[in-house]
Amino acid sequence: MKRLFSALRPDEIYSSVHEIDYERLRGAGYRALIFDIDNTLGEWGCPLISEDVHALLRRLVALGFAVGFLSNDSGEDRSLLKAQLAAWPVVWRAGKPKTHGYARLIALLRSSPAQTVMIGDQLFTDIWGAKRTGLYAILVAPVSPASDSLWAKLRRPLERWLLWLFSRENPPHDHTDDR
């Protein structure tokens, strides 16, 4: 049980992708960033990401990061989003928390697990899969919990309970109050 808890524990927690200190991550030796899409960069099922998120992604590339996306969604019916993300590798139907999608994207990014950060909004998919793959894992608050898939909505109460447990003993660094 203890091993499962450590595999679900994010290394850091932020309110959004805009709050993360990417310069610090770069200075710590991380060279690649993997983002979940739904409820991390936009609402669940979003047809496009916002211009401010797109600008952030361009800034991260300018900082020297390799950027990619990992989604359990099929990507079907999301042609506008696919076009918007065409400059970067995307692995659809990733099967998170299984590790094969992470490994495939790390290879596409020409990185290694030790140099890669996963950023997502769900403990049981994004964070668990990242930790199983050996990545540094950052949890962000969901962009719009109301837009979550049914399965995500069912998992959220358990995630909140686990985060409460984590906060009681050896908490991950929670940056949500740093503003």
CATH of the domain at 27: 3.40.50.1000
Using an 8 Å Cβ cutoff, are 38 and 81 in contact? no
* Residue 43 forms part of a structural domain: yes
* Residue 65 forms part of a structural domain: yes
* Residue 176 forms part of a structural domain: no
Which pLDDT score, from 0 to 100, does residue 146 have? 63
Q: Where are the alpha helices (DSSP H) in 72-174?
A: 79-84, 100-108, 128-133, 150-168
- Which domain, by its residues, includes 77? 2-171
Number of domains in the chain: 1
How does pLDDT run across 38-93, given as a tens digit for each residue?
A: 989 988 888 899 999 999 999 999 999 999 999 998 888 899 999 999 999 999 99
How does pLDDT run across 23-47, given as a tens digit for each residue?
A: 999 999 999 999 999 989 988 888 8
* Residue 66 forms part of a structural domain: yes
* Residue 179 forms part of a structural domain: no
- pTM here? 0.85
Q: What mean pLDDT is reported for the chain? A: 87
* Residue 107 forms part of a structural domain: yes
